[in-house]
Structure 1
Amino acid sequence: MSEFTPMSRPQHLPARIAAALSLQIREGALKPGDRLPTELALTRSFAVSRTVVREAIAQLRNEGLIETRQGAGAFVIQRPARHIRLEDGRMEPHAFRDLFQLRLPLEIEAAGLAATHHGPEHLEQLDAALARMAAPEASGDDVMLGDLDFHRAIAAATGNAYFVQFLGAISDRILHTIIDSRARARPEEIGPQVEREHRALRAAIAARDPVAARDAMRAHMLGSAERVALRLQLYG
């Protein structure tokens, strides 16, 4: 397997590490059945924390590229024919509108399906993501990664693997919007607002109310767009 190079901010984010490992898989340096390097080895190779490595591993698992085995580590699995991955690259601010125009219908539908099909494990994942974001000792990275975790849990709760795969494919772009929105506002302002939106979503999903869940996601997406200075034009 090829050696990795340390990543400097902002490239040390989990999505970048996931992209580097995905490239190894796509190019055959890591083949189905191969074991990924240990967390310790990856933290040393990329010069990042274990928290960041674990998030990257979680993303690869959500994308269907690897599986984790208790006590054994993470292993490459046969790549699904329907796997989705966008070419990695820096996202320019003018592309935010394009991303939100795609996310708006996708995430609204995911919220409605999650309200209908979720299991108790998905509510546990939503609660874990909320706790990660709200923890008093949470770092900026913890808050942002918790935000991604929350949306991944909703995608998983749909019961439709395409939502999980597609969200994984655009998660790096979504992270750019989260970073930008938090750079524009003070944490004490944006934090409570985002938490209210997420908790409204969680409540609607838990109540198995797809209409309320869709409405809550619509409000959250519009709020997210406004936090990066976008006003989306809606139809209907």
Structure 2
Amino acid sequence: MSMDFGQIRRSEHLPARIAAQIAGDIQEGRLQPGDKLPTEHFLSKALGVSRSVVREAIAQLRNEGLVETRQGVGAFVTERQARLIRIDDGKLLESEGFRDLFQLRIPLEIEAAGLAALHHTSDDLAKIDASLALMTGSERWTSEGINADLAFHRAVADATGNDYFAMFIGFIAERISLAINAARARAVLEEIVEVTIEEHVAVRDAIAKRDPQASRTAMRNHLLGAASRIELTLEVF
């Protein structure tokens, strides 16, 4: 195996940067399934960081399914079929990469809204309402409003009763905050927040009425509105 250990740039979040570097070696075949990663001591010396930073990076890779750790032995590259999804967050800073992720969001969340209308429980609706209440309260002007927006979409995904929708949409939601911040930066904050709230209310009301078609339409309108606010051109049919 071959790994290029250069000094990690201090301006970046170190564990994430190290995890991305090792993940690249795995995905490009420089590290093969079954290969053992170098020790924490070796990595910390080679990369010029502390062992705790290396440990956090390995934990991130383990959470993403790229490596498995064996007590007292070390970390090993997993077989491909055992791996979870991984997105290079750096690519989301590029317009094409971010657009592609947002394009994926469209069919997933539209379908999730329809399924949520059919399958939601009273607890699911309470979670949707709780996130909407945060979005419409005084926190709507702050980062807490953005967190509430993301929580709303996760709650809708949970309400489908399908763990895979919750997994994929939750994964995307963690990265889609870039879109919300961009939208707020490009418009008058009061206008953008109020429009966004109206769109979310329409989704919530359609789900509460157990109307799958209206829920899908409301979610479609919201996502296309969100895309237009950050000047994204998507392919929709």
The bucket for the TM-score relative to the shorter chain is 0.5 to 0.7
The separation in 2 between residues aligned to 1:169 and 1:194, in whole angstroms, is 21
- Alignment partner of 1:86 is 2:80: no
**1:23 to partner: Cα distance:** 3.6
CA contact (8 A) 1:24 1:30 kept: no
Q: What corresponds to 2:181 in structure 1?
A: 179
Q: Map 1:24-173; keep pairs closer than 5 Å.
A: 25=63, 27=67, 84-90=84-90, 91=92, 92-138=94-140, 140-173=142-175
Name the residue aligned to 1:188.
190
Is 1:84–1:165's contact at 8 Å kept on the other side of the alignment?
Answer: no
Answer yes or no: is the 8 Å Cα contact 1:84–1:166 preserved in 2. no
User: TM-score, normalised to structure 2's length?
Assistant: 0.64
**Structure 2: tracts of 5 or more residues without a match:** 1-10, 14-55, 72-80
Query: What one-letter code is carried by the residue in structure 2 that aligns with 1:128?
Result: A
Q: List per-residue Cα deviations over 1:7-57 (Å, max 9, x = no partner).
A: 999xxxxxxxxx9664464555799xxxxxxxxxxxxxxxxxxxxxxxxxx
Contact 2:113-2:212 within 8 A present in 1 as well: yes
Which amino acid in structure 1 is aligned with residue 171 of structure 2? A
Percent identity (aligned): 47
- Contact kept, 8 Å, 1:86 with 1:169, in 2: the verdict is no
Alignment coverage as a number of residue pairs? 174
Query: Mapping of 1:198-217 within 5 angstroms?
Result: 198-217=200-219
Write the distance in 2 (CA, Å) between the matches of 1:106 and 1:146: 20
Q: What's the Cα RMSD here?
A: 3.0
- Indicate the structure (1 or 2) with the bigger Cα radius of gyration: 2
Query: Relative to structure 2, which stretch is displaced further, 89-98 or 207-216?
Result: 89-98
Higher relative contact order, structure no. (Cα contacts within 8 Å, ≥ 6 residues apart): 1
Instruction: Label 1:220 to 1:159 Cα distance change in 2 as closer, same or farther (>3 A).
Output: same
Q: 1:29 to 1:145 in 2, by over 3 A?
A: farther
Cα distance between partner residues in 2 of 1:164 and 1:30 = 29
Q: Answer whether contact 1:111 1:213 (CA < 8 A) is retained.
A: yes
Residue 137 and residue 153 in structure 1: after superposition, are their counterparts in 2 closer, same or farther (change >3 A)? closer
Tell me how far apart the structure 1 counterparts of residues 70 and 151 of structure 2 sit (CA, whole Å).
Answer: 26
Instruction: Return the alpha-carbon distance in structure 1 between the equivalents of residues 174 and 190 of structure 2.
Output: 25
When structure 1 is superposed on structure 2, of 168-177 and 105-114 the one drifting more is 168-177
CA distance in 1, matches of 2:218, 2:136: 20
Task: Report the Cα offset of residue 170 of structure 1.
Answer: 1.9
For normalisation by structure 1, the TM-score amounts to 0.65
- Greater helix content: 2
Deviation at 1:169, TM superposition (A): 2.3
Query: Structure 1 residues 82, 128: CA separation in 2 closer, same or farther (over 3 Å shift)?
Result: farther
For 1:221 and 1:212, locate their aligned partners in 2 and report how far apart those are by CA, in whole Å. Answer: 14
